[in-house]
Structure 1
Amino acid sequence: MPPREEDALLRSARREAIVIVVLWAVALVYTVTYCALYGYDRTIDDMTFVFGFPDWVFWGVIFPWTLCTVFTWWFCNFFMGDEPLGDDSKVPDDFTDDF
């Protein structure tokens, strides 16, 4: 039996899922690494603040989450696309009262 051709909807969904999982993994590794390196073993004297947050919280959590939010907005509005789901000719336009 010859292999079936993948549906375009499945291919698109897989591509979008891979992009999101890769972004999530990169953000996770960056956040955990940055916060582990710069958040511990610090004295009060060498701590600086960015917009009221300790610098390691701002650059390790707030900044990457903001970038992820901006990327997610772009991804959902410009990268993701609608795919045709198939023919709806078998589905009636309205329901009857005969339930």
Structure 2
Amino acid sequence: MADPDDDPVYLDSRREALVILLAWFACLVWTVGFCYLHGYSRHDRVPGEVSALLPPLDRFDRAPDSLTMPLGLGIPDWALWGVVVPWVLCIGFSAWFCFAFMKDDPEAADQGEDEHVVDPAREQ
């Protein structure tokens, strides 16, 4: 039995999956961190153990009246920059990566073609 780590199709697919997962994980970390720091004033409910790991949150506290509505979309600025923009960028990156960067493996394409090609000389 061949080792899957030697198969180029396996190595390519593992690398491509890792790139997509890292991109989405980075987007997740940005969203959670940005929304935590720039969202509404909710830092009084943070447990003491978590507060010890973070800088003082007093400078990040925001009253709902201080929030702006950029671009007239009717959503707070922290939701636009913390949720909408990064996830739209991540979807765009994923689409570019899948449609422009990834390519079919030549070995897999050759195997698929051999199964469907009919030699007219053999049919006679």
TM bucket (normalised to shorter chain) is: 0.7 to 0.9
The match for 2:56 is none
The match for 2:89 is 67
Structure holding more helix per residue: 2
Question: Secondary structure at 1:53's aligned position in 2?
Answer: coil
The match for 1:17 is 17
Structure holding more strand per residue: 1
1:38 is displaced (CA, Å) by 0.6
1:6 is displaced (CA, Å) by 1.3
Question: Which 4+ residue blocks in structure 1 deviate beyond 4 angstroms?
Answer: 91-94
The match for 2:111 is 87
CA contact (8 A) 2:40 2:64 kept: no
Larger radius of gyration: 2
Higher RCO structure, 1 or 2 (CA under 8 Å, sep 6+): 1
The match for 1:49 is 69
Distance between the aligned counterparts of 1:44 and 1:5, measured in 2?
53
CA contact (8 A) 2:34 2:82 kept: yes
Percent of residue pairs identical: 41
Amino acid at match of 1:46: S
1:36 is displaced (CA, Å) by 0.4
Using structure 2 for the length normalisation, give the TM-score.
0.64
Distance between the aligned counterparts of 1:45 and 1:57, measured in 2?
15
- Superposed CA RMSD in Å reads 2.2
1:15 is displaced (CA, Å) by 0.9
Flag structure 2 segments of 5+ consecutive residues without an equivalent. 42-61, 119-124
Question: Secondary structure at 2:103's aligned position in 1?
Answer: coil
